[in-house]
A and B are shown apart, each in its own frame.
Chain A
Amino acid sequence: MTDPKPVLLEARNVERTYHMGGDVVVRALRGVDLTVDVGDSVAIIGSSGSGKSTLLNLLGALDRPSAGQVLYDGRDVRSMSDAALADLRNRRIGFVFQSFHLLARLSARDNVELPLVYRRMVPAERRRRAQHALETVGLASRTDHRPTELSGGQQQRVAIARALVTDPALILADEPTGNLDTVTGNEIMDLLTNLHRERGTALVIITHEREVADLAETRVELRDGVVVKVATREGTGRQFAAHNSEVEGGQRGGRAL
């Protein structure tokens, strides 16, 4: 085991309840505990309706829990204003979405610059950083292209460049390979895991693909709004050890991080 790392993000007994009008109440999360250390990689898996999107919103500081705590750098997001949360997202989190979420009328570089715009950074510095981020994801030659002129894989690379341009502590990826073919998906996962390893950026991936989940050091499985299994890969080995619920057998080895 490596030395204990500082805690980046902690969810304590988090609940999220939606009131759907009338008396219909949906309890999307029913007491979830999760800790992400600095430089961790965590995969959150579960079928649709398991609550993983809800958890992603909470971990991404896009939403606040109905009960329990989500602590970022020790601060409870429930006590923070919308503006403070926006600032937190801008400084600490890089989002990668399944559907890329690029603005169609902006060039790749302008898309990557977007988070820096909300930091009031001067244009020249923004441009330099965006260029660098695009080089990091291997798109140095496509900076002036619009999203429609890029392939799906290239678009997701632009999105990753946008996520890392702020040098975040955490990249939060929501089904990052969901809209890509297998080969391209593997390339994107390689890129994400390399960034995680080389830059020490924590990585939280929401996925329903086991091959993708197996790339993470920790695997958290959600079902019906609760964590049913947490598995940690010890050291560099490829075996996951389950912490609770049933022990999962027959692990397939993913690409080691």
Chain B
Amino acid sequence: MTWSETLRVAIRAMVANRLRSMLTVLGVLIGVMSVVLLVAIGQGAREEITGTIEGLGSNLLFVLPGDGDFGSAAPTRSRFVADDVDRLDRALDGGVAGSVLGGESLQAEGRRLTTTVNGVTGQYFEVVVRSIARGQRFSESDFVTARRVLLLGATAAEALFGELDPIGRNVTIGGTRFRVAGVMERVGGAAFGPDRDREVYVPLAAAQRLFATDRLDAIFVRSATTASVEADRATVMRVLSQRLDSEEFSVLSQDEIIGVVGDILQILTWVLGAIAGISLLVGGVGVSNIMLVSVTERTREIGLRMALGAKPRDITRQFLVEAVVLTGVGGVVGLLLGIGLAAIVTIVSPLPSSVTAWSIILAFSVSVAVGLVFGVLPARRAGRLDPVVALRHD
């Protein structure tokens, strides 16, 4: 029996059992759809986050507490102080900025917002490249005198003041009043990780007073050129080593951060894909089940075909092709629905999504493979039928 003939017979058998075929296809379809959709979301998250990091520029160094081994169990306590920023600034050509973070409850005009208060040093906005939409940036004296002034992220401004112009108004943080100096430009794209638009900024000294600490959580170094990044890294290591042990801090380039974060998100993507893959597997079991029923139902037909000259492998191949056609149809439709849903998710929710070629190829080939794997058992059973017994089956 030729392949085209086998395919024709398989399609005819599927059409003859329309409802059952559709329900069988549905199992595979949902599986493929969820694989494509969840992998697209995982991939979208990865691209967005790495994109955000890349947006910081390739000549940025992150100085973080700890030895940089994210697998170490001991929590890392920062030992950076403001003086480290000054010493690094003197030693380097590029810009250096420090930051201390704390979660606080903010109140203004009777509204309340719990968010991250980011205490920053003078060059912070230049180093991490953030700009102010309205109002005034911090002045030199704001930093020196630990003045209680505040810059609001765009979302934070809306949450606290709504339609009101926040500039010049007061925000109370932990019982201390801060005056709003300005509102930051919206950054956007924050479905994952901290929402930069929700953050508020205060001068470092004011934040340290608020948090009752003299430490910094992170130091950022922007090299003058990409070429000088490695030299600057060595300088940072040398300067900080004068005061700190080597395991008390680590210097990471943007690529290294992307590597670590990207790896974590890639694992997330795989986990999402694997969870969805389980539903594809369940769909495959459904195919197997239905094919077994089909073989039993069509035992007489199989017997007749054998009497008329069908070889065992003709019969096996026919049922195998039928299983693969079922899962293949489910694969294609599931793929299209998955891509469509991913697009809808991106439009109606803050979740980003990115359908990649590999997820399409993977989902489709897995669905075909599911047909082959789960079709083999029923197909072989059909091919092994004794024509004498099959002909007399009722």
Contact = CB atoms under 8 A, between A and B. Distances in A.
A118 B16 contact: no
A87 B387 CA distance: 14
Contacts of B16: 105
Interface in A126-178: 162, 166
Contacts of B311: 82-83, 86-87, 118
Contacts of B310: 86, 118
Contacts of A114: 304-305, 308
B312 A82 contact: yes
B361 to A, nearest CB: 33
A115 B311 CA distance: 11
Interface string A63-93: 1000000000000000000110011011100
A5 interface: no
Contact of B391 (A62, A91, A120, A166): A62
Contacts of A17: none
Interface string B34-51: 000000000000000000
B309 A90 contact: yes
A61 to B, nearest CB: 9
A118 B391 contact: no
A62 B388 contact: yes
Contact of A95 (B5, B307, B312, B314): B307
Interface string A102-127: 01010000000011011110000000
Contacts of A62: 306-307, 387-388, 391
B215 interface: no
A120 B311 CA distance: 12
Nearest to A166: B309
Given A101-B300, A117-B1, A118-B1, A63 B305 contact: no
Contact of B309 (A97, A101, A105, A118): A118
A60 interface: yes
Nearest to B5: A117
A115 B308 contact: yes
Given A101-B300, A105-B12, A119 B391 contact: no
Interface residues of B, number: 22
B20 interface: no
Contacts of B111: none
Contacts of B304: 101, 103, 114
Interface string B285-308: 000000000000000110011111
A119 B308 contact: no
B301 A103 contact: yes
Nearest to B301: A103
A57 interface: yes
Interface in B182-205: none
Nearest to A91: B309
A217 B309 CA distance: 28
Nearest to B6: A117
Contacts of A57: 388
A5 B387 CA distance: 31
Q: Give the residue among A86, A95, A114, A119 with the most B Cβ atoms within 10 A.
A: A86
B2 interface: yes
B309 A115 contact: yes
Q: Give the residue among B304, B305, B386 with the most A Cβ atoms within 10 A.
A: B304
Contacts of A87: 309, 311
Contacts of B314: 86, 118
Interface in B1-56: 1-2, 5, 12, 16
B320 to A, nearest CB: 17
Interface string B267-294: 0000000000000000000000000000
Q: Give the residue among B2, B16, B308 with the most A Cβ atoms within 10 A.
A: B308
Interface string B309-326: 111111000000000000
Contacts of B387: 62-63
Interface of B: 1-2, 5, 12, 16, 300-301, 304-314, 386-388, 391
Given A82-B311, A86-B314, A166-B309, 19 more contacts: A62-B387, A63-B386, A83-B313, A86-B309, A86-B310, A86-B311, A87-B309, A90-B309, A95-B307, A95-B308, A101-B307, A101-B391, A103-B304, A105-B16, A115-B309, A117-B1, A118-B308, A119-B309, A162-B308
14 contacts: A60-B307, A62-B306, A62-B391, A86-B309, A86-B310, A89-B307, A89-B309, A101-B300, A101-B307, A114-B304, A118-B308, A118-B309, A118-B310, A118-B314
Interface of A: 57, 60, 62-63, 82-83, 86-87, 89-91, 95, 97, 101, 103, 105, 114-115, 117-120, 162, 166
What 9 A-B pairs come out closest when comparing CB atoms? A90-B309, A118-B309, A83-B311, A115-B308, A86-B311, A62-B387, A57-B388, A101-B304, A105-B16
